[in-house]
């Protein structure tokens, strides 16, 4: 049981990459069907995001004139010492617009990051 250990031999397969993989950007440059799929997915994500943000804007801010038109008494309800209409339209609407913008910028940059990962021009850093 005291055989000398055989010298350790590193066993490896053939080099995995003899050349860099064909960049997926080539599919977009050469306008292949696959490239079309990549481009469409980016466009659909970004447009869908824009439409969702605008829909939230329309429902939260765009509906206010109709609401006050239908229920005029609502405008005069006092809250924090101000009539509701002043509180909403003079004060709260501005931070809300900023938050919507912040959400959009984060998501849009995320979509672009995913696109760069898909095309393998960025290493996944997560």
Partner 1 sequence: MSTDGVPGLVALVLVSLATLAIGTYGLRVSRTTSDFFVASRTVRPGLNASAIGGEYLSAASFLGVAALVLTAGAQMLWYPIGWTAGYLVLLVLVAAPLRRSGAYTLPDFAEARLRSRRVRALCSVLVVAIGWLYLLPQFQGAGLTLSAAVDAPEWVGALVVGVVVVVNVGSGGMRSVTFVQAFQYWLKLTALLVPALVLLVIWSGDGRPGTGGGDGWSMPLGAGNQGLYTTYSIVLATFLGTMGLPHVVVRFYTNPDGRAARRTTLTVLALLGIFYLLPPVYAALGRAYGADADDTVVLELPRLMLGGLGGDLLTGLVTAGAFAAFLSTSSGLAIAVSGVLAQDVLGGRYSGITAFRVGATVAVGVPLAAAVLAPDLSVARAVGLAFAVAASTFCPLLVLGIWWRGLTAAGAVAGLLAGGLGSSAGVVWTLYDGDPESWGDVLLGQPAAWSVPLAFGAMVCVSLLTRATVPGHARRFMVRLHTPEVVPLDRG
Binding site for partner 1 (CB under 8 A): 25, 28-29, 31, 39, 42-43, 46-47, 49-50, 53-54, 57, 61-62, 64-66, 68-69, 72, 75-76, 83, 85-86, 88-91, 93-95, 97-98, 100-102, 104-105, 108-109, 112-113, 115-116, 119, 121-122
Q: How many CB atoms lie within 10 A of CB 88?
A: 20
**3 vs 125, which CB is nearer to partner 1?**
125
- Least distance in Å: CB of 101 to partner 1? 5
Sequence-distant (6+) residues with CB within 8 A of 59 are none
**3 vs 73, which CB is nearer to partner 1?**
73
- Least distance in Å: CB of 74 to partner 1? 10
**11 vs 49, which CB is nearer to partner 1?**
49
**34 vs 98, which CB is nearer to partner 1?**
98
């Amino acid at each position: 049981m005291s055989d000398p250990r055989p010298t350790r031999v590193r066993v490896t397969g053939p080099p995995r990459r003899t050349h860099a993989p064909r960049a997926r950007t080539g599919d977009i440059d050469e306008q292949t069907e696959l490239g079309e799929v990549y481009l469409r997915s980016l466009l659909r994500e970004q447009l869908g995001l824009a439409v969702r943000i605008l829909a939230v804007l329309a429902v939260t801010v765009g509906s206010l004139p109709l609401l006050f038109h239908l229920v005029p008494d609502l405008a005069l309800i006092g809250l924090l010492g101000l009539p509701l209409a002043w509180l909403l339209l003079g004060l709260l609407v501005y931070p809300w617009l900023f938050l919507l913008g912040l959400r959009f910028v984060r998501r849009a940059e995320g979509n672009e990051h995913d696109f760069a990962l898909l095309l393998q021009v960025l290493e996944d850093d997560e």
